[in-house]
Amino acid sequence: MQRMDDAFTLLRQAVDLLPPDAVAENGQTVADVRRDIQLQEWEMALDVLIEIADVHPTSITFWEKLAEAARQIMLDRSRHWCEWRGWEVEHGTIRAALTLLGADEGGRQSAFSGDGQLRPLWDIGHRTATGQQDLNIARIWVEFAPQLGPGETADVRLAPLQPEKWQHLKPGDVITMHEAQPAAGIAEIIEVLPPRA
């Protein structure tokens, strides 16, 4: 049976995958992470590694190590975020500003968790042979908020079930989210990045 590394080891291994001069937008460095690890500040080290990876491209292996470390530290949202970011390395990133319609407009009645569990349908411009909407599935991660409610707007990340069908999208394109009829939300694409794997 293969031995599993502990969170301490995984965080050190993740640091070793970064350039020594890597710096997060907030000024924290690889040296800061190494200090946090020495002080056994596991959660702080994990957070700084995630911040640095927002600036410096990283590998799937990097995100896998962070996801497992977060699991061991029992930081579920951080684990899900690291798994999400690993998926983006392989499949690309789609970010959008999503506005949910209010309940009075036929939208959702309640907020949804922003941790990538919701998998609504999206109208991204595809049509069937008969001209009907050909909807596509994508999970949603709400940035900087634990949930998104009716009538609210937030930046989101989308993880399509079939990423190849979303390659035509570019910043400024408008897509609609569907959970039933009518649409549940309207999103404007703000960033599209190709896979980095």
Residue pointed to by tokens 């990423």: 163
Report the distance separating Cα 107 and Cα 13, nearest Å.
Answer: 45
Contact 58, 50 (CB under 8 A): no
Residue pointed to by tokens 């970010």: 95
pLDDT tens-digit series, residues 98-152:
999 998 888 899 999 999 999 999 999 999 999 999 999 999 999 999 999 999 9
Report the distance separating Cα 139 and Cα 158, nearest Å.
Answer: 6
Give the model's pLDDT for residue 26.
94
Q: Which residues of the chain have pLDDT under 70?
A: 1-4
User: CB under 8 Å to 135, separation ≥6 — which residues?
Assistant: 121, 122, 123, 126, 178
pTM for the structure as a whole: 0.89
Give the model's pLDDT for residue 180.
80
Give the model's pLDDT for residue 196.
86
Report all structural domains of the chain as residue ranges with CATH numbers, in order of start. Answer: 7-90 (1.25.40), 92-193 (2.40.30.10)
Give the model's pLDDT for residue 2.
57
